[in-house]
């Protein structure tokens, strides 16, 4: 449904945008400092990207700005070009241009083909990087450039520990971790931490206890930056630009999916990429941090009434007002307070969905996830994604080859009767019972097709997911299957899955915790038993419906 501008939506957009802007302020400052470009660069990026991505994007309620993953890659870019900020801005400009190209070529949907273990390992690695890089500012020491440096110089940071800085950081973490939800609905916990930490630092100053602050922030609009690097730097710029573009695409489209689930709408992937690209180009022209759709800020916007792209633009305009009016005051914010806020961000980025079941997932997926995680943290982010996708592809090829059989004893199974039976069953029950038959390997490249089929179910009471012809399912498939049965359950539809006996799929589904939703009879190994069970459920539902009508 297309958002409509009305007086009511205007009020919601105003409150949503203002609240999202307040949440974005401390994060923009923190990401700017963490990147090494300065707090002002974080604000400039949040303003430019936030405004133009909202104006031209394909997710009306999405709030865009600097994010943890994009900040980490941007920080690596600063290290790659230590004395050439024009080259850094050129990387951001190229990333934006590539995002626009992906959108124009309608390649936004390709992101779904990146295997889940690769995304999981990468995002968890990013979370650990953020945490490790904030340990030194938390202790009152100078910031470091890499996670390895953080670990190697941890001893010296502890030796020169600044106790007031550590106290401020702990206070900030206590606030962002433990502020009750009823308080954060009105005042975001990062903003509370920012105000409380800054006031406490000023109090410490009266006793002569000094802590490092973020320094001077200009209270004026940024001057234009021309991203014109030497041609010799072009190969490195292209590599880093592609990394930023891919990461920004993943980050934004995942947030778009979250926004869809909250608003019951459907975003336009390719249009969203064009908007993100324009926003990142704008950020590069003012020396700002690159970014993407920000999940927390988007959720806050939706929950406080935002319904159209106007809310994202209002969020950016509020940051402009803060920049022009409160810039000098923001210079007193302690770095340790921002470090405490960012440690919470890093912890939130970790993929708990997979970590909760890490020792129960298929071994091949665990190898991919851990490999990507370790390379992300200790080697290079770009290498991590490349190695992860390649390794996942090799694992997939190996597993498909292992499942292949040549049977010359028996004739191939003729399943035409089964197709006819399923069609007759659906017609006879007026689609009260629907059968979804899956053939072939169910892995990260095929999960989207199943989800599209499930989304088309209408007036259905029981869904039989027939996996008898599926030789194996990888982690992406299990999670997609689990999400599907959860959605069916929430809609009041009974899911029944039929697996081949002895294939190990039933055991894996139960190990991942889906047995509670499916119930004792939700997983079958005989197709006829599943059909009989579906009939019983349908008859029970129809009887209950008649009894309800008679009682009324």
Summarize pLDDT for 231-245 with one digit per residue, the tens: 788 888 999 999 899
pLDDT score, position 410: 27
pLDDT digits (tens, 9 = 90+) for 244-299: 998 899 888 878 877 887 788 888 889 999 999 999 999 999 999 999 998 778 88
Per-residue CA distances from 138 to 213, 333, 339 (Å): 12, 13, 6
- Domain borders along the chain are 7-177+211-351+363-388, 416-551
Is it the case that residue 44 has pLDDT exceeding 60? yes
pLDDT digits (tens, 9 = 90+) for 192-224: 888 899 899 989 888 888 888 877 777 778 888
pLDDT score, position 438: 78
Name the pairing type of β-strands 292-293 and 64-65: antiparallel
DSSP-assigned states of every residue in 5-47: --HHHHHHHHHHHHHHHHHHHHHHHHHHHHHTS-HHHHHHHHH
The reported pTM is 0.71
pLDDT score, position 412: 32
| Averaged confidence pLDDT in the chain | 82
Per-residue CA distances from 260 to 1, 63, 115, 255, 426 (Å): 11, 13, 22, 9, 30
Query: Is residue 43 within 8 Å of residue 323, measured between CB atoms?
Result: yes
Is it the case that residue 446 has pLDDT exceeding 80? no
Strand (E) positions, 24-90? 64-65
Name the residue with higher pLDDT: 518 or 548: 518
| Closest to 445 (Cα-Cα) out of 483, 488, 392, 484 | 392
pLDDT score, position 417: 46
Token reading at 514:
């889906």
Alpha helices, DSSP H only, in 404-438?
416-428
Is it the case that residue 419 has pLDDT exceeding 80? no
pLDDT band at 425 (very low <50, low <70, confident <90, very high): low
pLDDT score, position 406: 34
Find which of 150-164, 442-456, 487-501 is predicted with most confidence, using mean pLDDT. 150-164
| Closest to 366 (Cα-Cα) out of 399, 390, 388 | 388
Is it the case that residue 422 has pLDDT exceeding 80? no
**Sequence-separated (6 or more) residues with CB below 8 Å from residue 208:** none
182/174 Cα distance (integer angstroms) = 16
pLDDT digits (tens, 9 = 90+) for 376-385: 888 877 678 7
Is it the case that residue 90 has pLDDT exceeding 70? yes
Query: Is residue 128 within 8 Å of residue 147, measured between CB atoms?
Result: yes
pLDDT score, position 3: 53
Q: What are phi and psi of 142, to 5 degrees?
A: -70, 145
Is it the case that residue 354 has pLDDT exceeding 70? yes
Domain 416-551: what homologous superfamily? STAS domain (3.30.750.24)
Cα 371–Cα 376–Cα 381 angle in degrees, nearest 5:
125
The full length of the chain comes to: 552
SS3 4: coil
Query: Is residue 240 within 8 Å of residue 92, measured between CB atoms?
Result: no
| Closest to 500 (Cα-Cα) out of 413, 409, 396 | 413
Order the strands of the 462-469 sheet from edge to edge: 433-439, 462-469, 494-498, 523-524
139/159 Cα distance (integer angstroms) = 10
Is it the case that residue 92 has pLDDT exceeding 60? yes
Q: Which H/E stretch holds residue 176?
A: helix 163-178
254/69 Cα distance (integer angstroms) = 13
Is it the case that residue 427 has pLDDT exceeding 70? no
Query: Is residue 98 within 8 Å of residue 277, measured between CB atoms?
Result: yes
**Could you tell me what percent of the chain has a pLDDT over 70?**
86
Report, as an integer, the average pLDDT of 521-527. 87
First CA to last CA across the chain, in angstroms? Answer: 34
Supply the DSSP symbol for 442.
B
Report, as an integer, the average pLDDT of 131-157. 89
Query: Is residue 384 within 8 Å of residue 376, measured between CB atoms?
Result: yes
Alpha helices, DSSP H only, in 404-526?
416-428, 447-455, 475-490, 505-511, 515-518
Report, as an integer, the average pLDDT of 151-168. 92
Query: Is residue 388 within 8 Å of residue 368, measured between CB atoms?
Result: yes
Report, as an integer, the average pLDDT of 61-73. 90
Per-residue CA distances from 122 to 35, 58, 71, 360, 389 (Å): 18, 25, 14, 20, 11
The 3 state secondary structure assigned to 127-169 is HHHHHHHHHHHHCCCCCCCCHHHHHHCHHHHHHCCCHHHHHHH
Is it the case that residue 538 has pLDDT exceeding 60? yes
Report, as an integer, the average pLDDT of 400-428. 47
């Amino acid at each position: 449904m297309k958002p409509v501008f009305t007086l009511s939506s205007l009020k919601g957009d105003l409150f949503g945008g203002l609240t999202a802007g307040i949440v974005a302020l401390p994060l923009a400052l923190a990401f700017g400092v963490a990147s090494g470009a300065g707090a002002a660069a974080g604000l400039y990026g949040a303003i430019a990207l936030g405004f133009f991505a909202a104006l031209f994007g394909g997710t009306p309620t999405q709030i865009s700005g600097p994010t943890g993953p994009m900040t980490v890659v941007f920080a690596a870019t600063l290290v790659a070009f230590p004395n050439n900020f024009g080259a850094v801005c050129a990387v951001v400009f190229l990333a934006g241009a590539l995002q626009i190209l992906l959108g124009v070529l309608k390649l936004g949907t390709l992101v779904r083909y990146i295997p889940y273990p690769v995304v999981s390992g990468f995002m968890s690695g990013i979370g650990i990087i953020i945490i490790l890089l904030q340990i030194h500012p938390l202790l009152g020491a100078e910031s470091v450039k890499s996670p390895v440096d953080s670990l190697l110089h941890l001893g010296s940071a502890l030796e020169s520990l600044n106790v007031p800085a550590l106290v401020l950081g702990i206070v900030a973490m206590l606030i962002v971790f433990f502020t009750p939800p009823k308080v954060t609905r009105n005042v975001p916990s990062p903003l509370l931490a920012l105000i409380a930490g800054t006031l406490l630092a000023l109090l410490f100053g009266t006793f002569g206890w000094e802590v490092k602050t973020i320094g001077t922030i200009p209270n004026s609009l940024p001057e234009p930056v021309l991203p014109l690097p030497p041609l010799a730097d072009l190969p490195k710029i292209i590599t880093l630009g592609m990394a930023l573009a891919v990461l920004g695409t993943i980050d934004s489209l995942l947030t778009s999916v979250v926004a869809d689930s909250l608003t019951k709408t459907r975003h336009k992937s390719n249009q969203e990429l064009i908007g993100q690209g324009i926003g990142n180009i704008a950020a590069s022209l003012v020396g700002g941090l690159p970014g993407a759709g920000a999940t927390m800020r988007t959720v806050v916007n939706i929950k406080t009434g935002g319904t159209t792209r106007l809310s994202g633009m209002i969020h950016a305009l509020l940051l402009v007002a803060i920049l022009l009016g409160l810039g000098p005051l923001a210079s007193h914010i302690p770095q340790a307070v921002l470090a405490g806020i960012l440690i919470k961000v890093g912890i939130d980025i970790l993929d708990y969905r997979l970590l909760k079941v890490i020792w129960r997932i298929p071994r091949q997926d665990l190898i991919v996830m851990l490999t990507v995680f370790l390379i992300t943290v200790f080697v290079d982010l770009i290498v991590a994604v490349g190695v992860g996708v390649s390794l996942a592809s090799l694992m997939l090829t190996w597993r498909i080859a292992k499942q292949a059989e040549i049977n010359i004893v028996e004739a191939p199974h003729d399943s035409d009767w089964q197709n006819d039976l399923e069609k007759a069953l659906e017609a006879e029950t007026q689609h009260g019972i629907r059968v979804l038959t899956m053939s072939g390997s169910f892995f990260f490249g095929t999960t989207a097709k199943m989800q599209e089929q499930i989304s088309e179910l209408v007036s259905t009471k029981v869904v039989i997911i027939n996996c008898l012809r599926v030789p194996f399912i990888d982690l992406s498939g299990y999670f997609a299957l689990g999400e599907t049965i959860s959605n069916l359950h929430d809609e009041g539809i009974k899911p029944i899955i039929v697996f081949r006996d002895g294939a190990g799929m039933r055991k894996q589904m139960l190990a991942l915790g889906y047995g509670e939703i499916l119930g004792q009879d939700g997983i079958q190994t005989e197709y006829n038993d599943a059909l009989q069970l579906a009939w019983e459920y349908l008859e029970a539902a129809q009887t209950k419906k008649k009894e309800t009508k008679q009682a009324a």
